[in-house]
Amino acid sequence: MVESTKAIGIAQDALTTSNEVSNASLGKDEFLKLLITQMKNQNPLAPMESQEFAAQLAQFTSVEQLININSTLDHNLNLDLLLTQAINNTLAVSIIGKKVAGLGDEVIFNGNDTKLCFRLDSFAHAVKITIKDSVGNEVQTLQVSDLSAGQQVITWDGRNSMGKQVPSGTYTFTVEATDANGNSVNVQTLIAGIVSGIRYEEGRAILLIEGKELPFSQVLNISGTDEEGAVP
């Protein structure tokens, strides 16, 4: 039994060396080399019994099958990811010039009235919108009431809490909403507008919307008209 254990250890060392050298899936030739190495190093006065030999052979075969299965799964997964990216990128190009809305909290102020878009899960009695500058300083708070469930648009004139117009640039906003009983209403802040272009980053499509960026994976709806419920 000691000799058998020693032989197994030698075989395992050979397996490790083989993996380090080839850095690939173990094939039939490697299995044969391992078995030959094990047989060479066994005690000729106490050779392995046939059952023990068969068990080790089955273990080696199982290892080979698992390695091959793992390689096949990795290969198929990579193909699926590439196919998904290709489909998404193709679809992204087709929506240039259309109106979209997606998850996001950025707005671009360029001196004109700016639309703040968000979606309510249910009716909200009180809604508080907080606008911050690029470094996180609060510049304005808007209060509105009695908004229905669904997508909402509030216009910000670009003035701060002191009534002065803020500089042009990128701002963020958060929305807090409660119902008539003071219970919190779930809110999603949105980036909305017309898609003017697309750029790609690590195979992912990113939509350019009026100076803002929106990953295609975060798009919630697309519309080419001003129908009810469409993007404003």
Q: For 46-68, how does the pLDDT look when each residue is reduced to its tens digit (9 = 90+)?
A: 555 555 655 655 666 666 566 66
Residue 76 has pLDDT above 50, yes or no: yes
Domain extent listing, the chain: 2-93, 99-223
In this prediction, residues 80-108 reach a mean pLDDT of 74
Q: Which one has a higher pLDDT value, 89 or 10?
A: 89
* Greatest alpha-carbon span in the chain: 99
pTM of the model: 0.56
Q: Residue holding tokens 């906003």?
A: 173
Residue 190 has pLDDT above 70, yes or no: yes
Q: Residue holding tokens 């799964």?
A: 73
Q: Which one has a higher pLDDT value, 162 or 26?
A: 162
Q: Which one has a higher pLDDT value, 210 or 110?
A: 110
Looking at 1.10.3470.10, 3.30.930.10, 2.60.40.4070, 3.30.420.130, the CATH number of the domain 99-223 comes to 2.60.40.4070
**What is the structure's pLDDT at 230?**
42
Rounded distance between C-alpha atoms, residue 117 and residue 163, angstroms: 22
